[in-house]
Amino acid sequence: MASEIRSSTLPPAQPAYVFRGHAAQVHSVLFVRQNGRLLTGDADGYVVLWNLASKRPVAVWQPHDAAILGFAEWGPDKIITHGRDNSLRVWQLRASDEERFSIIPPADGVSTHRPQPWLLHSLAVNTLNFCAFSMCSETPASQPLHKQGTINEQATAHHDATNSIIVAVPATEDKKVDIFQIPSEQRIYTVPRVPSTDTGMVMALKLLHHPSQHLLLVAGYESGHTAVHQLEYTSPSSPQPTWHSIYLSQPHAQPILSLDISPDVKTYFTSSADAIIAVHRIPDLDALDQGTSGPTAPSITSVSSSTTSPSIPSTAFVTNPPASALPSPSTPSLLSAALASPIASNLASAPAQPIPIQPSQPFKLANTRHAGQQSLRVRSDSRILATAGWDGRVRIYSAKSLAELAVLKWHKVGVYAVDFADISAGRVREDAPMHRGEEAGTVTTKDADAEDVDRAIDFMKRLEQRREEKVSKQHWVAAGGKDGKVSLWEIY
């Protein structure tokens, strides 16, 4: 177990391996291909795809002219990269294509020609605030997405998940978020700012489908606020969906640096430039739906007072007024007369405006006494989470109690990125390759030397496959730092 337990008297743990291919600081790491590969990106825009079994690069290219902000895996053969050059790009990178790419890492030669994968899509996006994108399938999958920027096995098998996705990025206007659909590359939503709250810039995002089938956007802001936004169809007569803030909290005194969702989509975690790690509970959307009878639900939306006509009384709607308050049947009320006017008809057709939402206390707080923890990730079993520290430490916490369980100390300078291997991902072992001449029942004659060569090739293939299967089942943690190195740790 490659970890340093606080109560242990054992010597400090050492990483299982250190990848040394980058010449600039590493900003993003991601396990892909069911833990068979590790994707790393640096401040110069270079990306290296590492084979975890051989610990060697299998593809190196430069997708961006500036720092890599984030990665995502889309299906079995597509990689999404997000760079500070104001672009988000989708690359086709099949396992069978790896042989044609350069394997020379950036540290061994920047001027080396490196073929790029096939570029499928490219979006111009805002990257002024260092916030990485977030993605999910366009339609809800059978299981929730649990890992930043990835689609799990069930979602990968889903037709819509592999053919259509949506991505969230900070909008050009501060405090707002744009959501694009791919492959159309069209913006389909703009999530508005939090009402009546100065949140500052968007710093972290997570786009996901709730088990209730609602689309949610969880955001962290420069002010230390975090909010949960929900996409909702306000009424059958108004099919245009709108976004509403259903949760707001300010657990941090400094900008939020990262956030991640638990696999059950009931809670999420935030870390900041301060020493606080906070746990938040996502509101019960089923209960909200039951308590919402229309677009005027008091907990979500209300008609904006700024659009009220002077001729319409600013009277609140009452569900069951007392009998003495009811108007005479023969005498129309002022409200009825106002609602019958053309102005009121226009107001009724206008979209509902969000009302200010009151901040809530987070479910749990922990003062870790270690400022500057970013790239927070929750492991796929929901038991632990990890953070990358500016002090060069990777810290492992209990997801239930937020107690510090382990400290991984190897980097001498700051760590900027961390990721868990998906321990729920089981690699599907392919059938053993057939000997030449066995296809379709054909019969051939070979000399003994040729048969020996075939047996040796098959043995090496099976051996490599076993190594990859073993590596993919290990509980890895990868950490990339300012020193340009990526440490690989095995923990419980």
Q: What does the pLDDT look like over 172-185, one tens digit per residue?
A: 988 999 999 999 99
CA dist 240 to 189, 232, 234, 421, Å?
11, 9, 8, 39
In terms of average pLDDT, the best of 109-123, 152-166, 320-334, 359-373 is 359-373
Q: Is 191 left (phi over 0), alpha (psi -120 to 50) or beta?
A: beta
Assigned token pair, 50: 């590492």
The amino acid sitting at 206 is K
Assigned token pair, 48: 């290296």
Beta strands (DSSP E) in 1-55 are: 17-19, 26-32, 37-42, 47-51
CA dist 441 to 435, 436, 455, 459, Å?
11, 11, 19, 22
> Could you give the percent of the chain with pLDDT greater than 90?
61
pLDDT at 476 over 50: yes
Q: β-strand 415-420 against 404-409: which pairing, if any? A: unpaired
Supply the DSSP string of 187-217, one letter for each residue. EEEEEPPPTT----SEEEEEEEE-TTS-EEE
> Could you give the percent of the chain with pLDDT greater than 70?
71
The mean pLDDT value for 322-341 works out to 41
Assigned token pair, 312: 């319409």
Name the pTM for this structure.
0.77
pLDDT at 477 over 90: yes
Q: β-strand 17-19 against 486-490: which pairing, if any? A: antiparallel
Of the pLDDT bands very low, low, confident and very high (cuts 50, 70, 90), residue 291 is: low
Count up the domains in the chain and report the number.
1
pLDDT at 108 over 70: yes
CA dist 487 to 81, 379, 424, 468, Å?
21, 17, 22, 19
pLDDT at residue number 460 = 67
pLDDT at residue number 155 = 42
Q: β-strand 68-74 against 56-61: which pairing, if any? A: unpaired
Evaluate whether residue 447 is within a structural domain: no
Evaluate whether residue 62 is within a structural domain: yes
How far is 360 from 202, CA to CA, in rounded Å?
A: 19
pLDDT at residue number 174 = 84
Q: Is 265 exposed, middle or buried (0-12, 13-18, 19+ CB in 10 A)?
A: buried
Range of the domain at 56: 17-293+356-427+468-490
Edge-first strand order for the sheet with 87-92 is 68-74, 78-83, 87-92, 118-124
Which CB contacts under 8 angstroms, 24+ apart, belong to 10-15? 12/409, 13/408, 13/409, 13/489, 14/410, 15/408, 15/410, 15/487, 15/488, 15/489
The lowest-confidence range among 63-67, 150-154, 247-251 is: 150-154
Check: CB of residue 384 under 8 Å from CB of residue 405.
yes
Evaluate whether residue 85 is within a structural domain: yes
CATH code, domain carrying 240? 2.130.10.10
Evaluate whether residue 450 is within a structural domain: no
Could you tell me what percentage of the chain is helix, strand and coil, using 3-state DSSP and rounding each to the nearest 5? 15, 35, 50
The amino acid sitting at 200 is G
pLDDT at residue number 297 = 34
Residues 6+ apart with CB under 8 A from 183: 120, 121, 163, 164
Supply the DSSP string of 375-430, one letter for each residue. EEEE-TTSSEEEEEETTSEEEEEETTT--EEEEEE--SS-EEEEEE--TTPPPPPP
Nearest-CA neighbor of 35 among 50, 18, 46? 50
pLDDT at residue number 289 = 61
Nearest-CA neighbor of 59 among 2, 107, 100, 112? 100
Evaluate whether residue 311 is within a structural domain: no
Largest CA distance in the chain: 107
In this structure, the dihedral spanned by the alpha carbons of residues 82, 72, 422 and 429, taken in order and rounded to 10 degrees, is: -130
Evaluate whether residue 402 is within a structural domain: yes
pLDDT at residue number 459 = 64
Check: CB of residue 206 under 8 Å from CB of residue 148.
yes
pLDDT at 265 over 90: yes
pLDDT at residue number 473 = 82
Residues 6+ apart with CB under 8 A from 94: 76, 77
Per the listing, tokens 């949610």 go with: 216
Of the pLDDT bands very low, low, confident and very high (cuts 50, 70, 90), residue 357 is: confident
The mean pLDDT value for 297-301 works out to 32
The mean pLDDT value for 127-143 works out to 86
